[in-house]
Structure formats: structure tokens, C-alpha cells
Amino acid sequence: MQLDIAVLTEQGGRSANEDACSHWTGDGMCFAVIADGAGGHRGGPIASRLAVNQLLTALRTKRECSAAAVEAAMKTANDALVREQKARARFADMRTTAVVLALDTQRALAAWGHLGDSRLYCFRDSRIVVQTRDHSVVQTMVDAGYLKPEQMRSSPDRNKLLSAFGDEDQFDPAIQRETFAIRGGDKFLMCTDGLWEYVQEAEMEQALYECGSAQSWLDKLKRHVMVRAKRKHDNYSAIAVWCG
């Protein structure tokens, strides 16, 4: 199975880019990670980059597409972030979201995990078949029926997370427990909240229908953000993985 991979990361209207993202392919495997850092004293970029580096290193070492491999990599990354917090007191409050995607291109399987409000989507026939659930206050309100899904993007509580990397005692990432069978033509999108805040799911699907490559798809999603984003808007990042 051939992969078409594209990456987007933009500073937006902020003074620094606290997002980080990267991917690795080899030996019939592909690992992709995206993270959105937070924390005072410039701790956000440190948290997101540390998480991405630790996650990719752990996955490349294991080279396995499974829930166990993803979960172990996420724990390794969280432990590293907690150690860094304790070693550098001024970064004690740094946190980061993260999404991890593992693909076995020989067996056509996928596994993933996430924590926070950065998301993973899977599209099949230009329609969303998988969307991760945010670890956030507004997601809880939607689940409880106090908020409609379309109100999530405009809620004043949208940026309040319930869990993130850097939490020593309440680290509980969501893991896809059964490997996901990939079909030719499936597409994955991993993105931070700075992107999905300005792009509706129906628009992601429509853009996918209109585009012929992973890069052109991300370019179109970027244009949505640039047209709608407010002044000093958040960083936004995405990784698109098209499965041939």
C-alpha cells in the first residue's frame, strides 16, 4: 500500500508556534504524531516537541502497529514530560495534547491514540467514518446533552481540557483497542484545534471530494482557516495520510 503524506503547521496570529508534528515511514510501517502545547514561560513548544520526539522514537523502536505499542509510546512520552517538569521548575505547568497514528502498510492495518482536543479523522469514500472524542469540558457538555455539537466551536469553554500530557496522576489517553482494517482510498486527518475550530466536518468532506492529493487537501483546509480566523488566532497544524 502506497501512502501520500502531507504536513501543515502554521503560527497563525500568535507570537510563537506551540504545535509540533512529524512522521516516519520504513519497513512497511508509518508513524505520525501531532501535538498542541500549552503552558506559561514558553513551555508549550517544549512540551509539544518533547512529546512528538518521544512518541516517534518509541514507535520506531517497537515498529509495531497495535494498541499496546501506541499505549506504551504514549506512557513513555508522558513520563518524559513529567520528568522535564520536575527538572525545570519554570516549566512545571507545561502540557500538550497529542494524536498518534500507526499504520502497517503491508497488512493494511491502523492503530491510534489521543489525549486532549487534537483530533484524528478517518474518511472513506469522502465521508467521515471515525472521529475521535475530545477530552474537554465542551465535549462532556455535548455528551450530556447540554450543548449541541455545532456549538462546540463557539463555546467560551472550548479551550478547557480535562486531560493532557504532563498530568502525572490523571493520565488516561484514549486508545483504539482493536486494529482498524484500512481500505484502499481511505484518508486520515490529524489536526490541532486551531484547524478544526474553523473548518466544519462537512467542509472537510467536500474539500476531500474536490482534491486529488494530500497536499492540495491541506491547502484547501488552510484557505478555510485564513478566511475565517480571528485576529491573533491560534496556531494550526495537520497531517494528512492518504492510503493508496
Confidence of residue 40 (pLDDT cuts 50, 70, 90): low
- Model confidence at 161: pLDDT above 90: yes
Confidence of residue 150 (pLDDT cuts 50, 70, 90): confident
The rounded distance, in Å, linking the Cα atoms of 200 and 198 is 7
pTM of the model: 0.96
Domains of the chain and any CATH numbers: 3-243 (3.60.40.10)
Each residue of 225-238: pLDDT tens digit? 999 998 899 999 99
Grid cell listed for 23: 512522521
**pLDDT value at residue 170:** 85
**pLDDT value at residue 125:** 95
Could you tell me what percent of the chain has a pLDDT over 70? 99
β-bridge mates for residue 136, sequence order: 161
Could you tell me what percent of the chain has a pLDDT over 90? 93
Confidence of residue 42 (pLDDT cuts 50, 70, 90): confident
What's the average model confidence in pLDDT over 152-175?
A: 93
β-bridge mates for residue 240, sequence order: 6, 189
**pLDDT value at residue 23:** 98
- Model confidence at 84: pLDDT above 80: yes
C-beta atoms surrounding 66 within 10 Å: 18
Cβ proximity of 134 and 115 under 8 Å: no
Confidence of residue 41 (pLDDT cuts 50, 70, 90): low
The rounded distance, in Å, linking the Cα atoms of 81 and 92 is 10
The rounded distance, in Å, linking the Cα atoms of 128 and 187 is 9
Each residue of 171-223: pLDDT tens digit? 999 999 999 999 999 999 999 999 999 999 999 999 999 999 999 999 999 99
What's the average model confidence in pLDDT over 141-167?
A: 93
Give one DSSP letter per residue of the chain, joined into a string. Answer: --EEEEEEEE-TTSSS--EEEEEEEETTEEEEEEEEEE-TTTHHHHHHHHHHHHHHHHHHHH---SHHHHHHHHHHHHHHHHHHHHHSGGGTT-EEEEEEEEEETTTTEEEEEEESS-EEEEEETTEEEEEPPP-BHHHHHHHTTSS-GGGGGG-TTTT-BS--BT-SS----EE--SPEEP-TT-EEEEE-HHHHTTS-HHHHHHHHHH-SSHHHHHHHHHHHHHHHPPTTPPPEEEEEEEE-
**pLDDT value at residue 39:** 79
